[in-house]
């Protein structure tokens, strides 16, 4: 199959290029990598390759390929938890019931499960049963940030595809293809800022409007305060977290992490900046578990000024 549409990841491409599409693919894949690393792109390419009617799969041109790309193929089912919650055991059970209804149009029915690493043990065990006993036309694409958090029994039933961040050159090439109308300068900046995670670059370039500029300015201010020496200034700056909505909070934390990382790479106070990066990652995890923003602000101050 041809997955040249995915950026970077040469080893993965090499591996998959040796497979034929359609029935030549496994029935279960665990696709892991950080947010923005191309997991959804790879999942889409696999789904297309499984359903494609062209010669060189995925051709991208046939009816099924186009439907998958547009997110309207009836035999591709996307399962995600409710809001920030992971997929529940009840959801897996209803997928199981659905899996026994034969495909509508294609030869396979493909289930894409978001956040497989965040599913609890009961849900993962239900998933395991589905992988073991599901009908032969069913295929499962499990997405995870951390493959290590997926039960070993589930992992052993899947072929693992692990995505890695791409280098700035690969990022730039990919972005040039995706955004032919943008200036080279803009693309170069996005390619450097995204730290190898193209999803971030896409968001930055697509959302390049007001919201993203404001987010970037607020993050810069907090970034300054985190690297400063005045605890009161940081306390005041961290109040910004309290004003962000549920949707915006993770985006803001992503932006903050990028800015801290970029400064570290440019030779700021590396130790402190990386301490900040670690802290922001922890906060993002906590935000996902519904910690309230006021609490996050408190942790941020404590983490920067009393790391022990
Ligand atoms: Zn096709």
Query: How close is the Cα of 6 to the center of ligand 1, in Å?
Result: 16
Q: Compute the distance between CA of residue 157 and CA of residue 29 in angstroms, rounded to an integer.
A: 8
CA 205 to ligand 1 centroid distance, Å: 28
In the chain, which residue ranges form alpha helices assigned H by DSSP?
10-17, 39-51, 63-70, 89-99, 121-133, 152-155, 168-178, 184-193, 198-206, 210-227, 231-238, 248-265, 270-288, 293-305
Find the 151 Cα to ligand 1 centroid distance in Å: 34
Q: State the distance between the two ends of the chain, measured CA to CA, in whole angstroms.
A: 50
* Nearest-angstrom CA–CA distance, 8 and 11: 9
- Cis peptide, bond prior to residue 142, ω within 30 of zero: no
| Geometric angle at alpha carbon 210, from 230 and 253, rounded to 5° | 45
**Centre of ligand 1 from the C-alpha of residue 20, in Å:** 13
**196 alpha carbon – ligand 1 mean position (Å):** 28
Q: Identify the segments of the chain with pLDDT beneath 70.
A: 22-23, 208-210, 307-308
- Report pLDDT for 229: 85
Q: 83, 89 in Cβ contact below 8 A?
A: no
Q: What's phi and psi for 204, nearest 5 deg?
A: -60, -40
CB–CB of 145/33 below 8 Å?
yes
pLDDT value at residue 44: 96
pLDDT of residue 208: 60
Would you state the pLDDT for residue 175?
A: 94
Ligand 1 centroid, distance to 137 Cα (angstroms): 18
Q: 1 C-alpha vs ligand 1 centroid, how far in Å?
A: 11
């Amino acid at each position: 199959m041809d997955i040249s549409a995915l950026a970077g990841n040469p080893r993965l491409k090499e591996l998959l290029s040796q497979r034929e599409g359609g029935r030549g693919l496994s029935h279960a894949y665990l696709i892991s990598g950080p947010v923005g690393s191309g997991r959804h792109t790879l999942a889409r390419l696999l789904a297309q390759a499984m359903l494609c009617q062209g010669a060189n799969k995925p051709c991208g041109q046939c009816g099924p390929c186009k439907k998958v790309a547009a997110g309207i193929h009836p035999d591709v089912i996307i399962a995600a938890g409710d809001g920030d919650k992971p997929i529940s055991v009840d959801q897996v059970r209803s997928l199981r019931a659905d899996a026994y209804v034969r495909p509508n149009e294609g030869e396979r029915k493909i289930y894409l499960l978001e956040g497989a690493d965040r599913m609890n043990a009961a849900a993962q065990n239900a998933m395991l049963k589905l992988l073991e006993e599901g009908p032969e036309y069913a295929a499962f694409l499990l997405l995870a940030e951390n493959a290590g958090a997926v039960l070993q029994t589930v992992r052993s039933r899947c072929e693992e595809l692990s995505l890695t961040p791409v280098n700035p050159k690969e990022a730039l090439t990919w972005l040039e293809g995706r955004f032919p109308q943008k200036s080279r300068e803009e693309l170069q900046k996005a390619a450097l800022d995204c730290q190898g995670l193209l999803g971030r670059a896409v968001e930055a370039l697509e959302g390049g409007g007001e919201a993203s500029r404001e987010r970037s300015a607020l993050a810069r201010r907090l970034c300054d305060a985190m690297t400063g020496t005045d605890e009161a200034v940081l306390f005041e700056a961290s109040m910004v977290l309290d004003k962000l909505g549920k949707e915006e909070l993770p985006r803001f934390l992503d932006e903050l992490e990028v800015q801290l990382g970029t400064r570290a790479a440019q030779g700021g106070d590396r130790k402190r900046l990386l301490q900040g990066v670690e802290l922001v990652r922890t906060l993002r995890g906590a935000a996902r578990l519904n910690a309230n923003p006021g609490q996050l602000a408190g942790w941020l101050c404590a983490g920067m000024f009393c790391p022990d």
